[in-house]
Amino acid sequence: MKQPTVYIESSVISVHTARPSRNIQLLARQQYTHDWWETIDRYTPYISQIVQDEIAKGDVSAAAKRLKLVDWVPLLPFVDEVDRLAGQLLREKAIPFKARDDALHIAIAAIHSVDYVLIWNMTHMANPFKRQHIADIIRQSRFSNPIILTPQELLEASQ
């Protein structure tokens, strides 16, 4: 049986490698992320060059920790269809233009038929009000529609 595939967006990697937070909500996200990461062998994980570029930014030692966490995870290639689908998500306002990389993450996962997009970005991607709009656009484009969810949601759904 084929393992489900998961595209790990940079916010998940950042939350996983961050120092424990004093903010109770962020601390809970960190714990869910760590708990999900312990189940990663149930999935075939992927990232993209965009993820690598995002996690390489900022404090040098923190960036090194983020990059090391996923240095074994394969990269999904950026193909022409990614730009087209991301552009459609932006034009149809499923994702705001200022969040172009978010549209690219979703498009990469859709183009490569990834089952899940794992993310902590509640504003543009894991937002329950945006998910249906995103799904409709992807479906109309005839690409595979990845399920966008948080580590908490995927962990709870798999139990």
* pLDDT tens for each residue of 74-124: 999 999 999 999 999 999 999 999 999 999 999 999 999 999 999 998 776
Q: 1: how many CB neighbours lie within 10 A of its CB?
A: 3
At the topology level, CATH places domain 5-157 in Rossmann fold (3.40.50)
Whole-number pLDDT of residue 124: 67
Average pLDDT, whole number, for the chain?
94
Task: Give me the residue spans of the domains in the chain.
Answer: 5-157
Q: Cα(158)–Cα(32) distance, rounded to whole angstroms?
A: 13
Spatial separation of the C-alpha atoms in residues 99 and 115, rounded to whole Å: 22
93: left (phi over 0), alpha (psi -120 to 50) or beta: left
Per-residue pLDDT at 142: 92
SS3 of residue 50 by DSSP: helix
Label residue 130 by pLDDT band (50, 70, 90): confident
Q: Which pLDDT score is estimated for 98?
A: 92
Angle at 135 between CA 12 and CA 118, to 5 degrees: 10
Number of H helices, E strands in the chain: 8, 5
- Mean pLDDT for the stretch of residues 24-39: 96
Of the pLDDT bands very low, low, confident and very high (cuts 50, 70, 90), residue 146 is very high
